[in-house]
Structure 1
């Protein structure tokens, strides 16, 4: 290993001084000097993995830190500081963290031990902030409290079911309520406005399926430009009563405060949920009654909502403290899995996470949160690198063998975590709300081995919940593993790097870290290597069911579906998940958010041939042309195009007379590129709906040059207006049954290559590259940006 330490005597001396410091903290080096030397410097540790280096530096390294070694040391010192014997536990925690065997939640990696911070960031990833009363004061109190949480770096979940529905009287006056959905955009915009150290807030908004405003809630994001509630995830809380009504195809009452407001056909409401999930991956579906039945402290601290990714159901003002065991580190060179080491690591990790609660207590934004967190002491131990570990064991992700392996992995983690929580209760005391007669009502507690239940009854538990399967986005990047329990998303992808001229880009292939390390490239991979889009969705449900059996909280995982998947199949996947006892499931149809769900009509409705319609008279009595009235329903397509400003999404809609409107989205909302493209699109829509020939519009747009021309599928895109004009031209050519004009690949300059990355959700707001949808999160493989 030709590291900086070996090459530079001064660096070597500094490293030895660092090792002495670590030993003074309690570290037993145990022959790991070579690994520690590599980990002292990010470039040495990661080699040519530029993405991991960038993410580590931008998100996790504190001032003065240069590599993962410093993060492991800082976190171990912080978590050991609450122990009676900090040196002993420093060594145990450092050994757990070393080489990312255990990956704490992102807030812990960023904030633990950061004594230099003026305002200490929270180490909890997420909270639930309730609307405590059905009033304007209650709504704005929630808004204010959520903002305080965002400021410390936490995400928020809020349930809207307490709010009276649209049309209900307010304070016994003639005034009527605007309904709960009227406040969703307010909560969403606040999430975007408040940040901590550049980290934007994250928000989940939920609503019970029996709330009278449920249909408006489901379709709230269906505005043409998709700008409503754009900074929040939305999910429906599904009850057993509703699912039974769907299965029976019976009526279902929508009610609030004991009053039935109206009755609907359950299956029609279900179809609306499915149509939206199929079209745009939202709303999410949470099987709420199942969550409550398996919630360990529902008897005293009932669930209110979930965190932004849905894997952590929470009571009001409680928080989640997350960390993940990296399964790759438990597979030996000969492909054997070390279950004994995994069990011991689960025990140490449980103690680590319990210490996070103590260390972080003063960093919460509100006294209410401190009281709630102390009352039930929730932690969430999860796993990551599952798909990579299966590859190392030469076990195919979608195989019965893999189900057996993961069943043993999860039972080992779960039972050891609960055993440790019992021991911690004996050593430090049970969580204050513990009561055996209450907790034994939980179906999850009832599923534990009788011997373990007996220990819990006798000694109590330190933590009310212990197991969670979160998304492990940037954490998996710095650990160089597959994310969480997800399959490998793709074995390689294309990365774009701007050249020295500042205008052109060169693209090159980047491999999934394990694929590169084990196989060198992704040519002729063995059949036990499979990617997300190759796995049957029903098997994904089956695998999630195995993991859910040992998970007292919930799971964040995304089932990736092909673009042509039917509505019926999506509905059947959800129903299968419900029958399997899952607490929730997320599906993402490839490319689904690139289009716009129309406000009316079925997504799979076939176009009916209509006779030619006489064009309206656009001339008004004032002598000016005026646009024709827009119908309630339009039909069209959305096309994604590479431009020098990033990827642009061009939506072309038509009414009975032809093309009537064009929408385009590029770059960050509020940015210059976004503003210009919106202005262009509005003017195009105005002239098209005023009777101007689309070909004349196309001829005006095509050929406009910009500073950064790029090649896209054999065609030179000169600028954003040029891209819109060419998209309109291709649309008309397809309507006429013609093949759109393209340039052959042989005519392309050698410095550019056609992109080959899989279809994804949208563009990265940081670098403009495409992003993937994994573990209910958006992930940019190019710069490391993520959003959950």
Structure 2
């Protein structure tokens, strides 16, 4: 948060996050005091107003895009392996949240490639891709090289995967749907629920043949609770969640134009839960939504990860010097979808 005064060429490239508990957020709401605790001896280092600290965090994020936020209570409420310890942090980009000294191999799907000419999603192709890549990532756990023996050992014991998607912004833009809209959120929720449900169902199928991940028996009750909560959200339920401090925003069927997406998502979660209850899961985690900055460029995505486009024309600085210009190619198709004529689009 103190890097804004540095010349641009001297600023370190890093991602910084602050981990917040629900207790801190309640202290902000109530304008209460907050103790800063020293890591080494656990004693109070300083006491200040929670709102003052919150204001500094918000200002720093506005001024420099850092820090990001970790909602630590929620992270651990959805933790599949509680018996092994709490989730304390994430990887630098914050998509992978799990135990210390673990890692996962990532793969992302370009959502725009599944858009049919009429604006619907090719559900069969999407499900096939998710199923196939869940198996590919499972294989990659044994083939990957890890930076330390401890990370390698825990990766084998928990077998976490990182399948995700990119270009939701490009998909919505091409379809003429506002990113910040009920319809946009509904489509994103349905695609995410479908991807995650199919991935965990595939993981359970692999467990039926290969066995669950080694640490599954010690965490079965926790993981099945998390799976049940996922299924409730896919079914649009507002209540009945198990051991959550804050209920999730559920999938709203009325906000999804293509109802088959919702039907398939719910069927996938039914299968994931039924097979998991019988066989367990091969992987402690199956999906993440990564920022996909570099691989998004390789995949010709107009937008990265789950994010909207921050500019229609962007410039990317190259490591060897210079820049190159990136133009969002979804704009012409978006304008056609919205009914503009070719002359207007050219203008």
Indicate whether 1:349 and 2:133 are aligned: yes
Shift of 1:527: 5.3
Contact 1:221–1:229 (8 Å) recurs in 2: yes
Q: 1:291 aligns with which of 52, 62, 75?
A: 75
Q: 1:329 aligns with which of 88, 113, 136?
A: 113
Contact 2:27–2:50 (8 Å) recurs in 1: yes
Distance 2:112 2:9 in 1: 41
Shift of 1:227: 8.4
Greater Cα shift, 414-423 or 470-479: 470-479
Indicate whether 1:476 and 2:296 are aligned: yes
Q: 1:339 aligns with which of 103, 115, 123?
A: 123
Shift of 1:481: 1.7
Shift of 1:303: 2.0
Q: 2:184 aligns with which of 389, 398, 402?
A: 402
Shift of 1:374: 0.6
Contact 2:130–2:199 (8 Å) recurs in 1: yes
Indicate whether 1:426 and 2:247 are aligned: no
Distance 1:224 1:474 in 2: 26
RMSD between superposed Cα atoms in Å: 3.1
When residues 345 and 509 of structure 1 are mapped into structure 2, their CA distance, relative to the original with a 3 A threshold, is closer
Shift of 1:462: 0.5
Distance 1:265 1:232 in 2: 28
Q: 2:281 aligns with which of 448, 461, 477?
A: 461
What is the SS of the residue equivalent to 2:47?
A: strand
What is the SS of the residue equivalent to 2:60?
A: helix
TM-score, scaled relative to structure 2: 0.75
Larger Rg: 1
Indicate whether 1:237 and 2:19 are aligned: yes
When residues 298 and 222 of structure 1 are mapped into structure 2, their CA distance, relative to the original with a 3 A threshold, is farther
Q: 2:329 aligns with which of 499, 505, 513?
A: 513
Q: 1:300 aligns with which of 78, 84, 89?
A: 84
Q: 1:486 aligns with which of 307, 312, 318?
A: 307
When residues 336 and 295 of structure 1 are mapped into structure 2, their CA distance, relative to the original with a 3 A threshold, is same
What is the SS of the residue equivalent to 1:440?
A: helix
Shift of 1:436: 6.6
What is the SS of the residue equivalent to 1:464?
A: coil
Distance 1:334 1:379 in 2: 33
Residue-by-residue CA offset, 1:273-298 (whole Å, 9 max, x unaligned): 22222222222211112111111112
Which stretches in structure 1 are left out of the alignment for 5+ residues?
1-218, 497-504, 530-788
2:242: which partner in 1? none
Q: 2:97 aligns with which of 313, 319, 343?
A: 313
When residues 222 and 480 of structure 1 are mapped into structure 2, their CA distance, relative to the original with a 3 A threshold, is closer
When residues 338 and 255 of structure 1 are mapped into structure 2, their CA distance, relative to the original with a 3 A threshold, is same
2:159: which partner in 1? 377
When residues 513 and 291 of structure 1 are mapped into structure 2, their CA distance, relative to the original with a 3 A threshold, is same
Shift of 1:233: 2.3
Contact 2:80–2:284 (8 Å) recurs in 1: yes
Distance 2:73 2:315 in 1: 43
Distance 2:324 2:75 in 1: 45
Distance 1:495 1:277 in 2: 21
When residues 372 and 399 of structure 1 are mapped into structure 2, their CA distance, relative to the original with a 3 A threshold, is same
What is the SS of the residue equivalent to 1:340?
A: helix
What is the SS of the residue equivalent to 1:382?
A: strand
Distance 2:10 2:77 in 1: 34
Distance 1:442 1:229 in 2: 44
TM-score, scaled relative to structure 1: 0.35
Distance 1:336 1:382 in 2: 20
Contact 1:328–1:388 (8 Å) recurs in 2: yes
Residue-by-residue CA offset, 1:723-745 (whole Å, 9 max, x unaligned): xxxxxxxxxxxxxxxxxxxxxxx
What is the SS of the residue equivalent to 1:325?
A: strand
When residues 441 and 434 of structure 1 are mapped into structure 2, their CA distance, relative to the original with a 3 A threshold, is closer
Distance 2:27 2:58 in 1: 16
Shift of 1:299: 2.0
Contact 1:396–1:528 (8 Å) recurs in 2: no
Residue-by-residue CA offset, 1:347-406 (whole Å, 9 max, x unaligned): 11111111111111xx22221121111110110111112122224434333332222222
When residues 508 and 469 of structure 1 are mapped into structure 2, their CA distance, relative to the original with a 3 A threshold, is closer
Matches within 5 A, 1:682-693: none
When residues 406 and 493 of structure 1 are mapped into structure 2, their CA distance, relative to the original with a 3 A threshold, is closer
Distance 2:2 2:315 in 1: 35
Which stretches in structure 2 are left out of the alignment for 5+ residues?
233-269, 341-347
When residues 526 and 437 of structure 1 are mapped into structure 2, their CA distance, relative to the original with a 3 A threshold, is closer
Distance 1:274 1:334 in 2: 42
